């Protein structure tokens, strides 16, 4: 990899100590004279056509923001180095940077595709299109009453239910809000869409797992109460009574670089299930 770019979340490294350390280590390991450095907040405005690998320094939120913001000039993979909190999506912790560089130098890694969602939010006056790596959430405002949701799948009505909201998630997002709401874990290499209700008023509304080829359309009947659509927990859009929300698989996948000894289930146990160290070794 001749051209390496590094995207940093400045709020995680206000004095640039981590950035300088990582830049120097990459330069020394790969004998590079220069490395392009980007601010993660404006990555979508940058021309990344010549970048072979984009290293992201931050946490899960940084990776989610970059996944949505990357423009068509970038075609390479992402290497996430966690300098945040959870770091479930990251390939490696900052404490293991030397290990990661050795693996990268030796070519001991795989590039995997993670499915993303495309969402069209449209009413009689406006139309907005957004993408998501984790999930699209429709939920009532803090003081609002329950909302009546009507869900169509591939043009056919699936169900109508009342509740606080619903979560449409990718396999990557199945370990996030969807899991907290009772949804299942979905292996990240699959291309599936899950719909999970948030506090449904009836138990007849359960999580459904759909083909990644499905088109989901949602209408929220809320009597002018405040309803919001949230993208990856970061971007919010106000929903009106006439709003149609159409969700489908995005044509572009998120390319993630993972090392050859990456163990999804180990990460799931240690980062999400919070098992003890005794359950995290060779005994399993």
Question: Is 95 annotated as belonging to a binding site?
Answer: no
3-state secondary structure of 212: coil
Q: Is 61 annotated as a binding-site member?
A: yes
- Does 109 show up as a binding residue in the annotation? no
| Residue 82 among known ligand-binding residues | no
Could you tell me if 202 and 166 are in contact, meaning their C-beta atoms sit under 8 angstroms apart?
no
- 219 neighbors 243 (Cβ within 8 angstroms): yes
113 is catalytic: no
Q: Is 145 assigned to a binding site?
A: yes
Is 149 one of the annotated binding-site residues? no
Q: Is 234 annotated as a binding residue?
A: yes
The catalytic residue among 60, 123, 260, 280 is 60
Sign of CA dihedral 154, 202, 193, 243: positive
262: its two tokens: 């990456």
Give the helix/strand (H/E) hosting 157. strand 156-169
164 a known binding residue? Answer: yes
Q: Treating both helix axes as pointing N-terminal to C-terminal, what angle do 17-30 and 97-105 enclose, rounded to 10 degrees?
A: 30
Residues 6+ away with beta carbon under 8 Å from 130: 68, 118, 119, 121, 231, 235, 237
Annotated binding site: 60-61, 134-135, 145, 162, 164, 175-180, 234
Annotated binding site for NAD(+): 60-61, 134-135, 145, 162, 164, 175-180, 234
Q: Which residues are catalytic?
A: 60
């Amino acid at each position: 990899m001749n051209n390496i770019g590094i995207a940093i979340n400045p709020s995680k490294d206000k004095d640039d100590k981590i950035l300088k350390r990582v830049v120097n280590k990459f330069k020394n390991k790969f004998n590079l004279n220069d490395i392009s450095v980007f601010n993660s907040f404006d990555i979508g405005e940058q021309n990344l056509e010549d970048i072979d690998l984009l290293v992201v320094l931050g946490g899960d939120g940084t990776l989610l923001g970059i996944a949505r913001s990357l423009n068509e000039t970038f075609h390479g993979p992402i290497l996430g180095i966690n300098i945040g909190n959870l770091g479930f999506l990251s390939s490696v912790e900052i404490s293991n940077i030397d290990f990661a560089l050795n693996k990268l130098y030796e070519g001991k890694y795989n590039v995997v595709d993670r499915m993303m969602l495309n969402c069209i939010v449209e009413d009689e006056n406006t139309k907005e299109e957004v993408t998501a790596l984790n999930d699209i959430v429709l939920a009532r405002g803090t003081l609002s009453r329950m909302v009546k949701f009507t869900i169509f799948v591939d043009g056919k009505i699936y169900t109508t239910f009342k509740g606080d909201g619903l979560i449409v998630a990718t396999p990557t997002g199945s370990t996030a809000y969807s899991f907290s709401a009772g949804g299942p874990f979905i292996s990240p290499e699959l291309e599936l869409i899950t719909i999970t209700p948030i506090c449904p008023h009836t138990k007849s509304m359960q999580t459904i797992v759909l083909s990644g080829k499905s088109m989901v359309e949602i209408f929220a009947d809320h009597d002018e109460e405040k309803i919001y659509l949230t993208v990856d927990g970061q971007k919010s859009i106000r929903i009106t009574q006439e709003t149609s929300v159409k969700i489908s698989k995005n044509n572009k996948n998120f390319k993630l670089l993972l090392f050859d000894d990456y163990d999804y289930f180990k990460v799931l146990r240690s980062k999400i299930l919070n098992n003890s160290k005794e359950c995290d070794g060779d005994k399993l």
